[in-house]
C-alpha cells in the first residue's frame, strides 16, 4: 500500500510532526470506515522538497540534529518491515511557503 501527500508548510519557525500535524488532519474518517487506511508505522518514508530553493530538516521527537534535505532532493528511509514510526518524525522548513512531498509504503 502506497499513500502520498503534498503539504504546504508556511511557518519556518515551527516544527511539524508528520503524523499529528500533517497526515492525521487529511484523514476524514479516523475510524477508517469510509476512508482509505493510513498506518502510522510504515516500511518506507520518502520526503522531498518540491522547489530548488529551501532546506527541509527531518528529525526525531528530540528535534536535535536531524537530516537536512536540500531543495529538489529527496530523503528515503526504508526498513524490512513496518517499523518506521511516523509519530516520531518531525520536519521544519527554512523558507515560506515550502511544498513538501511525502510518500509512505506499508
From 26, 45, 44, 46, select the one nearest 36 (Cα to Cα): 26
Residue 52: the pLDDT is 86
Number of folded domains that form the chain = 1
Residue 104: the pLDDT is 96
Q: What is the CATH number for 8?
A: 2.60.120
Q: What is the pLDDT of residues 32-89, one digit of tens each?
A: 778 788 899 999 999 999 988 889 999 998 888 889 999 889 999 999 999 999 999 9
Which residue range is the domain that position 88 belongs to? 2-29+37-105
Amino acid at each position: 500500500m502506497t499513500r502520498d501527500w503534498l503539504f504546504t508548510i508556511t511557518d519556518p519557525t515551527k516544527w511539524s510532526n508528520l503524523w499529528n500535524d500533517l497526515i492525521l488532519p487529511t484523514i476524514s474518517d479516523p475510524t477508517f470506515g469510509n476512508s482509505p487506511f493510513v498506518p502510522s508505522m510504515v516500511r518506507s518514508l520518502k520526503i522531498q522538497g518540491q522547489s530548488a530553493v529551501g532546506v527541509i530538516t527531518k528529525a526525531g521527537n528530540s528535534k536535535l540534529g536531524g537530516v537536512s534535505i536540500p531543495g529538489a532532493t529527496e530523503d528515503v528511509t526504508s526498513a524490512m518491515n513496518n517499523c518506521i514510526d511516523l509519530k516520531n518524525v518531525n520536519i521544519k522548513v527554512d523558507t515560506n511557503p515550502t511544498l513538501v512531498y511525502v510518500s509512505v509504503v506499508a
